[in-house]
Structure 1
């Protein structure tokens, strides 16, 4: 199916708009909207349809387990919605009012799969408008925000899935933090979901999926960072770790043609296969899914 004209609204850190389409080599047009930490909603249009996603996912009890719920709003009455990944329905998509729907990702396999970097597709069918059917592609990722406290502790907004061999599970979620001035240590405390912290002065923050889920659910509970020396803590800061929609795009074409599954990147493959025997941490080669595609 050929892709027709597509327009996207891109949000910057101040949620300002840039309506200039991204040029493509073919007549097809395609763009991606990315969310900085201050963007609360992402918008995109295709034809005379507009769709928006709330960037911040929230956790609720669904079907007896905790689940991440992501909400969206359309400008046309909704007939049906379906969430899927290549070749398979994935998560639950529910129409909750005439123009609003939600995506539910249950804790465990569904949530871990999406947070580890697999894009989620959402097919939307409307009762009016042109076109009557279109597909959204969203990326959901762990992100820090709501930073409060000392500017001497810097916490990277991004937490990135990395390929690190550790028994039967090769997925770690890694963040970064650093401290200005001389300190001997950085520690992180929370009711649960505390990462492994190491690598002074440019600290790595590592979570397994289980720990990551504890850290982001509920999203209202911050992690507390302290840095200091023999005489105790000299700097303190808090930040919340949440699941956030970081990319959003729309098309009225065939989603598999517009967004085909990425192959193994030759540069990632060369990096992966050039590592010394016994290497367990392949984060220098790319993200978790970039490396995973080159391990087969």
Structure 2
């Protein structure tokens, strides 16, 4: 067996469930999430149902002062009386959850590390225990992301709804948030009281917006203040549009099973690993290889998580870019 075939077989062995072992669980017994939904740009609330529980989250989070710091507050409602709620990320308690009335709860993510971590693409789990119903123990999985909405103004300026996290090293920071604007314009400026992005041209009719976390946070808190986009059109004149950047619940799923079985942590994808290895040593912008989380899963992948042929033995098992980034993160 050649090295490529061996590496791929090793990768697939980890990714696929055992089928020939007597101890393997039958597929019919696997627990699947019920009611997994993603938010449209205009959705105000997401719903998910499993067993006796229907849970809904307001998609738009709000900022409040909690324990002396600003925090993103997410509100949810259940159809059952709540007994206990708790928030975590895999293997670690994270954020806070509180019952605020018999059937209502809130999730609190403090500004700084907690908020930045979730906005960068890490899902948040929320356990929900109810007094009645069968079953009465559930886990919700939510994703929160920066999103533009409430656009007003000229159609000559088109602002992408999504703002996406990428791995781009700048000193001790390797997380950047990027958005985009399309306009037939020779120049684009974006203004705001706080949190205006850096703007750069991509091609003749598109521009890139870029925030590091501190400025992104300033742009979304308060979420009621819009950003203003002003384009100098190539055909003459100017066009202007406003839009609000907010922290939005973009997906919700609910299960009564084991959250680690239902939503296992994703592994490094071969295409992402290959892309990283194709960058020269010392490369700092890995946005072409995937999102921030997709890239970070591959930086320190072991031999059975990626195909063998892509490894550069002369640079050690991690390859040139990963070795550089390991040094940066230390």
Q: TM-score of the superposition, structure 2-length normalised?
A: 0.79
**Equivalent position of 1:186 in the other structure:** 188
Unaligned runs of 5+ in 1: 1-24
Q: Secondary structure at the match of 2:298?
A: coil
Change (3 A) 1:284 1:230: closer
In structure 2, which of residues 83, 86, 89 is the aligned counterpart of residue 82 of structure 1?
86
Q: Secondary structure at the match of 1:184?
A: strand
* Bigger Rg, structure 1 or 2: 2
What CA distance in whole angstroms lies between the structure 2 residues aligned with 1:295 and 1:97?
44
How far off is 1:230 after superposition? 9.4
Change (3 A) 1:174 1:265: same
Bigger CA drift: 29-38 or 72-81? 29-38
Mapping of residues 23-172 of structure 1, within 5 Å = 26=28, 28-30=31-33, 32-172=36-176
- RMSD value, Cα: 1.5
Mapping of residues 210-229 of structure 1, within 5 Å = 210-228=214-232
In structure 1, which of residues 258, 265, 271 is the aligned counterpart of residue 269 of structure 2?
265
Q: Secondary structure at the match of 2:138?
A: strand
Mapping of residues 231-250 of structure 1, within 5 Å = 234-250=238-254
| Contact in 1 for aligned 2:32/2:262 (Cα 8 Å) | no
How far off is 1:29 after superposition? 3.3
How far off is 1:264 after superposition? 1.1
What CA distance in whole angstroms lies between the structure 1 residues aligned with 2:191 and 2:235?
19
CA deviations on 1:26-62 (whole Å, 9 max, x unpaired) are 5543352000111000001111210000000000000
Mapping of residues 9-24 of structure 1, within 5 Å = none
Bigger helix fraction: 2
How far off is 1:232 after superposition? 8.5
What CA distance in whole angstroms lies between the structure 2 residues aligned with 1:76 and 1:162?
39
CA deviations on 1:58-111 (whole Å, 9 max, x unpaired) are 000001010000000000000010000011111110000000000000000000
Change (3 A) 1:260 1:231: closer
What CA distance in whole angstroms lies between the structure 1 residues aligned with 2:162 and 2:264?
25
**Equivalent position of 1:177 in the other structure:** 181
| Contact in 1 for aligned 2:61/2:249 (Cα 8 Å) | yes
Bigger CA drift: 26-35 or 150-159? 26-35
What CA distance in whole angstroms lies between the structure 2 residues aligned with 1:274 and 1:83?
38
| Contact in 2 for aligned 1:226/1:233 (Cα 8 Å) | no
Q: TM-score of the superposition, structure 1-length normalised?
A: 0.88
CA deviations on 1:238-267 (whole Å, 9 max, x unpaired) are 000000000100000011111111111111
What CA distance in whole angstroms lies between the structure 2 residues aligned with 1:67 and 1:127?
29
**Equivalent position of 1:15 in the other structure:** none
| Contact in 1 for aligned 2:84/2:130 (Cα 8 Å) | yes
Runs of 4+ in 1 over 4 A off after TM superposition: 229-233
What CA distance in whole angstroms lies between the structure 1 residues aligned with 2:151 and 2:237?
18
